[in-house]
Amino acid sequence: MWHEERLLIDGELGPAEAGRAYETVNPATGEVLGTAADATVGDVERAIAVARRTFDTTSWATDRDFRTRCLRQLHDALVARADDLRTLLIADNGLPHMLTQGPGLDTPTGMINYYADLLEKFEWTDDLGTAETMGRVSTRWVEKEPVGVVAAIVPYNYPVQISLAKLVPALAAGCTVVLKAPPQCPWITAALGRIIAEDTDIPAGVINILTSSEVAVGVAMVRSPLVDMVSFTGSTVAGRQIMADASATVKKVFLELGGKSACIVLDDAPLDLAAMMAAFTITSHAGQGCAITSRLLVPASVHDEIVELTASMMAGVAVGDPSDPANMMGPLISEAQRQKVDAYVTGAVAEGGTVVTGGKVPEGLPDGYFYEPTLVTGLGPDATLAQEEVFGPVLVVLPYSDDDEAVAIANNSSFGLSGTVFGTDEERATGVGRRIRAGTVSVNGGMWYGADAPFGGYKQSGIGREMGVPGLVEYLEIKTLALPAE
């Protein structure tokens, strides 16, 4: 299988310090795929120094035409390698083949040209006109310039999507980047580094990609005084620590964190459609998505009917080898994650919940890290399963009495990443969606995801927005200038 196991630092692919390496495992089989370079703190310090020097001493930050050309090269190179990347992503990450044709690979690859186009038409200067202050008339304007060196830290669930959502707008802005791959699936991110080094004109030092099993590497990236901004996607717990570590140097922080999103089924909703979408969403990539709706809020009057429909649809989801296009759901990323998911289900039962379907390892799949699509009822909105992010295929059903209570339950969360509403009356359903305190909301199956759509959360789901024009602005500084008016 085509893959990459080396680090990319200063334009060169090479081993980690002292030749350190660690094993990477296929989550669908539990078998070792091979090894990846295990970067040290020394490696990250070298990469950061290179990124700093490249930003400060080359024309990368100011040559927008060159950056545009490099982005288009990157797009074309990823398209040319799509089949290799697809095979690698499925083996390294366990992402089902179907999802590689969407948010896992093909859609984020298309995002690159969106930013190349944006780079050509973005207003880099804003004219503020003249103003008189203390008897002096001045001409004033605003310029937008890159923030500098970016430390980007990527989670395991959608490594290509999230890597590109950080790299591409940062490159468009004129930043240099040190990116840390997820330790659970290092090969796919390292492969991006190989393509960048071999198939584009992106200068040495602009992008540096590290694979490492050590938390200390990420900590060193965040704390470094040479880094101007941290872009992190991951858990809220880790995000809080990153904010604390970054505060010592008061650097800019972008955080896309956890979620416990609600799907509200209104009393006039088509129940079949709502149940089907709820089942599809929670089983997408085995529930390993921060924006997945993992709370199903239903009218108490039709609770049992919706539970029966949803349970039936979840039980019918094809689970198995993610390389088989017939299988909709693949494995969890690791045995540790499977045990974590199972502990949440066991805990829900201890709190009085009922497992309607699922709740165990699927029969016939003893290898790999599979877990059955699981539906739980009988819990209140403050139960652990209704409040904490599981990151697995576990859906909890919560009854409500009217629209106001549905909205209150949806907003009864420390998170605010996404939400869904189903209802025949579109105006009513959209109105309920507007009341959900979340960064993205789908109404009646509408898909908000796209290169031009800002993504991010309220409350403890994060700070800032990724993708769209706001995704470029995250990587910019604003400078106001003035000259005496003639």
Summarize pLDDT for 353-388 with one digit per residue, the tens. Answer: 999 999 999 999 989 999 999 999 999 999 999 999
Question: Is the pLDDT assigned to residue 486 strictly greater than 90?
Answer: no
Instruction: Tell me, yes or no, if 23 is annotated catalytic.
Output: no
pLDDT for residue 150 is more than 90: yes
Residue with tokens 């390389």: 323
pTM score of the predicted model:
0.96
Q: Is residue 348 part of a domain?
A: yes
Which SS3 state, helix, strand or coil, does residue 182 take? coil
Task: Write the burial class of residue 483 (CB in 10 Å: 0-12 exposed, 13-18 middle, 19+ buried).
Answer: exposed
* Model confidence pLDDT, tens digit, residues 178-232: 999 999 999 999 999 999 999 999 999 999 999 999 999 999 999 999 999 999 9
- In terms of domains, do 353 and 386 share one? yes
Q: Could you tell me if 202 and 111 lie in one domain?
A: yes
User: Do 11 and 136 belong to one domain?
Assistant: yes
Residue in 256, 372, 466, 474 annotated catalytic: 256
Same domain? For 285 and 415 the reply is yes
Give a yes or no: residue 455 inside a domain.
no
Q: What mean pLDDT comes out for the span 319-337?
A: 97
Give Dmax (Cα) for the chain.
83
- Mean pLDDT for the stretch of residues 319-341: 97
- Determine, yes or no, domain membership for 73: yes
In-domain check, residue 357: yes
Number of structural domains the chain divides into: 2
Statement to judge: residues 127 and 187 lie in one domain: yes
Residue with tokens 């990250």: 44
User: pLDDT tens, 70-88?
Assistant: 999 999 999 999 999 999 9
Residues 161 and 308 in one domain: no
Query: Is beta strand 21-25 parallel, antiparallel or unpaired with respect to 32-37?
Result: antiparallel
Report how far residue 155's alpha carbon sits from residue 142's, in angstroms, rounded to the nearest whole number.
Answer: 35
pLDDT in tens, 100-124: 999 999 999 999 999 999 999 999 9
CATH of the domain at 110: 3.40.605.10
pLDDT for 309: 98
Q: Is residue 456 part of a domain?
A: no
pLDDT band at 404 (very low <50, low <70, confident <90, very high): very high
Q: Please check whether residues 34 and 147 belong to one and the same domain.
A: yes
Does residue 147 have a pLDDT over 90? Answer: yes
208 located within any domain: yes
* Whether residue 198 lies in the annotated active site: no
Judged on CB neighbours under 10 Å (0-12, 13-18, 19+), 239 is buried
Please spell the DSSP secondary structure of 391-433, one letter per residue.
-SSEEEEEEESSHHHHHHHHT-SSEESEEEEE-SSHHHHHHHH
> Residues 35-57: what's their mean pLDDT?
98
Radius of gyration from C-alpha coordinates of the chain: 23
Q: Are residues 295 and 312 in the same domain?
A: yes
Residue 412 belongs to some domain of the structure:
yes
Q: What is the pLDDT of residue 320?
A: 97
390 and 479 inside one domain: no
Quick check: 130 pLDDT over 90? yes
Q: What mean pLDDT is predicted for residues 129-150?
A: 96
Same domain? For 277 and 306 the reply is yes
Q: Give the C-alpha separation, 144 to 79, whole Å.
A: 31
Based on the domain organization, do 291 and 348 belong to the same domain? yes
Structural domain span for residue 359: 261-450
CATH assignment of the domain containing 437: 3.40.309.10
Together in a domain, 208 and 303: no
Average pLDDT of the residues of the chain: 97
CB atoms inside a 10 Å sphere around CB 447: 8
For the chain, what percent of residues have pLDDT higher than 90? Answer: 99
What's the token pair of residue 147?
């923030």
140 part of a folded domain: yes
Among the listed residues 70, 263, 290, 474, the single catalytic one is 290
